[in-house]
Structure formats: C-alpha cells, structure tokens
Amino acid sequence: MRLAPMTAGLAALIAAALTVGGSFAGAQEASRAVLDPKTAHVKAEAGEIVLVDIRTPEEWRETGVPASAHAITMNQQPAAFLSALGSVAGTDKSKPIALICRTGNRSEHLATELRKAGFTNIFDVAEGVAGGRNGSGWLRAGLPLRKGADVLARPVVAGAQ
C-alpha cells in the first residue's frame, strides 16, 4: 500500500481552509482530544459526532469502513477534502468531528491541522482501525464495518438524512 506524503498535503489543507474563511489569528493548539473506537462508534450512531474515516480507498477495500463513519480520504485535493467534510458535517467549525485512520498517525496530524485552521471540536480516534501504539483498534474491538460495495455508503446514524 502506498500512502501520499502528508506534509505538503496538510500544508495545502491549511491553505485551503484559510481561503474558505479560516484564520490563524488567535489560533492556539488545543489539547489533543482522543476517543477510543467504541466511544466514537456509540457517539457517531447517536448523532453526537461526525466520524470520518480518512484512509485511502485501498485501505477501505482491505478492511472495510467503520459502520458509523463517513469515508472521506485525506489523499485528495484539500479543497475537495474540505468540501466533502462540509457535506457531512456542515459549515459550523465547532461541530464535533472525529477522525480515524489505520493506526492513529494520520488522524492525529490531520486533527492538529484542522484545529489550526479553526475547527474547535476535533477528536482523534487514536487507536485507528488496525490498532497501534495507542491501543488495539476498531477491528480487534469487534466493532461493525461496511464492506464490499457498501464501503462508500453513508453510515446509518441518528439525525442523518
């Protein structure tokens, strides 16, 4: 599996966020907000957070997508990512959004960059789908997945249209 370099992509994401109304004025690094997979799933099902799987389509096909997550890869043009995020989370930058990736590395970095771009309620599902240094992950927790043709389907969550 080949992953695109993150540094340039994240810098571009910040630039894109700034062009759509974000600002660094007064922005401070928020403390890292972390959710475990089970809590993220329960909150997403209840409509309390928007859970976003930011992995690649190849990774989604490999393991499936968490059943309560929207599949929006971070490996795309920043404006397209922000547009897709806005389509599921709306334009309110204080809306609770949780990010999940494979092992927690990309979600941690993207959460930090989104906070810098003015998003104020970003959570990192640090264990990721596969697990890693932060815990055993979504798969080992036995949480539900969408697989096959359903990986790109919208999750069934409270308040979803």
Nearest in space to 160 (alpha carbons), one of 76, 67, 58, 89: 89
pLDDT cut 70: percent of the chain above it: 79
Average pLDDT over residues 31-50: 94
Residues 6+ apart with CB under 8 A from 39: none
Residues 6+ apart with CB under 8 A from 76: 84
Tell which CATH classification among 2.70.98.20, 3.40.250.10, 3.40.50.10800, 3.40.50.300 matches the domain 29-150: 3.40.250.10
More confident residue, 149 or 63: 63
Average pLDDT over residues 69-87: 94
Highest-scoring range by mean pLDDT, 9-23, 29-43, 130-144: 130-144
Question: Could you read off the pLDDT of 2-19 as tens digits, one per residue?
Answer: 444 444 554 444 444 433
pLDDT at residue 61 above 90?
yes
Are the CB atoms for 30 and 126 separated by under 8 Å?
A: no
Q: Which residue type does 103 have? A: T
For residue 109, what pLDDT is reported? 94
pLDDT band at 31 (very low <50, low <70, confident <90, very high): low
pLDDT band at 32 (very low <50, low <70, confident <90, very high): confident
For residue 160, what pLDDT is reported? 55
Range of lowest pLDDT (25-29, 42-46, 150-154):
25-29
Q: What is the DSSP letter of 33?
A: P
Average pLDDT over residues 130-158: 92
The mean pLDDT of the chain is 84
Asked whether the whole model's pTM tops 0.85, one would answer no
